[in-house]
Structure 1
């Protein structure tokens, strides 16, 4: 809020106080934070909604693998307790430490969740195509959560045996509670196979970047 593009720096609003309501630790580090911020609109003097679930920045990767003339996407399946469902998602994860190694985190999360080793130099930041005024991130639930996601693209060509080996592969860091099953689906069917906002946002950015000549078709 105090950044150059934030509402406090532009004089639109004022922050009076913050009430910390809950903290979840990840080892010795703060993981999730729940708080309420008392923020006033300077013009009307009225409070604006300020209940926040804070989890910080994250990354996700759209992996496109071409094999036998078909484009495939690698997804992960995990049980998501908040929505009570198994969800097909892009390989993704939260940024650790100071949150500056975005590409490195994306590569690491892909390997942990799918077993695929990627080269950082081959990663394309899809969210970097957004206008700078957006922060070049996507905000999946800006009304209640501060999470901002950088979406990356990786494209490669593999033998059919690689596709077959990935299907149904069980991955994840068991000590972190990750029970992940890998899925490989045709890209042409992807947009109807999941309600994961990361998938649908990545598809939209990818298709629009091709349409505008920012990426080869």
Structure 2
């Protein structure tokens, strides 16, 4: 039987989960320093750096009004910004062919989660050398995340375990996969996935029972799904757990309240028959997970059987 953890006061907010697996390979030129730029009417904070991939063409970074000195420094030094620079210079990066040039970055917004950056918003001026036109470049950086498709077989029916929570940006309660942002610099997608399941549903799973559905993607994709590349850097690893439970577990899960109310979390567990899942929500994570799961199953890439009851523990 899949075990449920008792309601815990140690459930934590998703908003603290931010990281990137590694830092970009770039260095500041010896002359790079923070200084006042009296020629800029909009900001007194600016910085210059040189990317190895476009040596001789320095990148000017400036702060928009309202961004403090400490926020500006934190933004430039953050793993979010460094990972973005690394992506630009990667094998499939925008700057990799030499056809484009990054000239300027305007730091517009910095949201701190404690002592570190949570969300970062900036505008990047990248120009196509052939046409001289600027490539659209408004960026909301939040880093990598994970989501888990939990399928439980009970009395001949397969159920999906979702969370229902308040999502202020869309102004509604939304049915979603258990999900969250990475909270360390190790890029531990599977470990984060297991923790998210525990914190959002009360179910604790073994690491070895998780199947990385995004690992089946072509390596050129980075083996992550990208929900909104036109405006956000977020890359999501989607995992699968499938297990067998009795009907009592399904009843206990339905409507279970989780989350820290004192932190503004309003979360309930919802259980939906899998055959109805694709129509039950517009959550992109759910729909992407269904597509990956069904295609991987069709190609024979998944384990043949559901995990035994012992795969879940208290």
TM class by smaller structure: over 0.9
Does residue 51 in structure 1 map to residue 138 in structure 2? yes
- Check conservation: 1:112, 1:173, Cα contact below 8 A: no
Q: Distance in 1 between matches of 2:263 and 2:193?
A: 17
**Which is richer in strand?**
1
TM-score by length of 2: 0.67
Quote how far apart the aligned CAs of 1:43 are: 2.1
Aligned to 1:183: 270
State which of 64, 69, 93 in structure 1 corresponds to 2:180: 93
Quote how far apart the aligned CAs of 1:3 are: 1.8
State which of 216, 221, 227 in structure 2 corresponds to 1:134: 221
Quote how far apart the aligned CAs of 1:9 are: 2.0
Aligned to 1:107: 194
Spell out, residue by residue over 1:139-175, the C-alpha distance to the aligned partner (whole angstroms, 9 max, x if none): 1111001011000000010111111100100012345
Instruction: State which structure, 1 or 2, has the greater radius of gyration over its C-alpha atoms.
Output: 2
Listed as ranges, the gaps of 5+ residues in structure 2 are 1-87, 306-314
Q: Distance in 2 between matches of 1:6 and 1:175?
A: 42
Matches within 5 A, 1:19-98: 19-98=106-185
Quote how far apart the aligned CAs of 1:99 are: 4.8
Q: Distance in 1 between matches of 2:256 and 2:190?
A: 24
Alpha-carbon RMSD across the aligned residues, in angstroms, is 1.2
Q: Distance in 1 between matches of 2:100 and 2:224?
A: 23
Does residue 118 in structure 1 map to residue 205 in structure 2? yes
Does residue 200 in structure 1 map to residue 275 in structure 2? no
State which of 203, 210, 217 in structure 1 corresponds to 2:297: 210
Question: Compared with structure 1, are the counterparts of its residues 99 and 87 closer, same or farther at alpha carbon in structure 2 (3 Å cutoff)?
Answer: farther
Listed as ranges, the gaps of 5+ residues in structure 1 are none
Aligned to 1:18: 105
Spell out, residue by residue over 1:6-47, the C-alpha distance to the aligned partner (whole angstroms, 9 max, x if none): 111232321111110001111111000010001111221210
- SS of the residue 2:97 aligns to: coil
Q: Distance in 1 between matches of 2:209 and 2:90?
A: 31
Question: Compared with structure 1, are the counterparts of its residues 176 and 10 closer, same or farther at alpha carbon in structure 2 (3 Å cutoff)?
Answer: farther
State which of 241, 245, 252 in structure 2 corresponds to 1:158: 245
Question: Compared with structure 1, are the counterparts of its residues 101 and 176 closer, same or farther at alpha carbon in structure 2 (3 Å cutoff)?
Answer: farther
- SS of the residue 2:170 aligns to: coil
- Deviating beyond 4 angstroms after TM superposition, the runs of 4 or more aligned structure 1 residues are none
TM-score by length of 1: 0.97
Aligned to 2:26: none
The answer to which of 6-15 and 28-37 deviates more is: 6-15
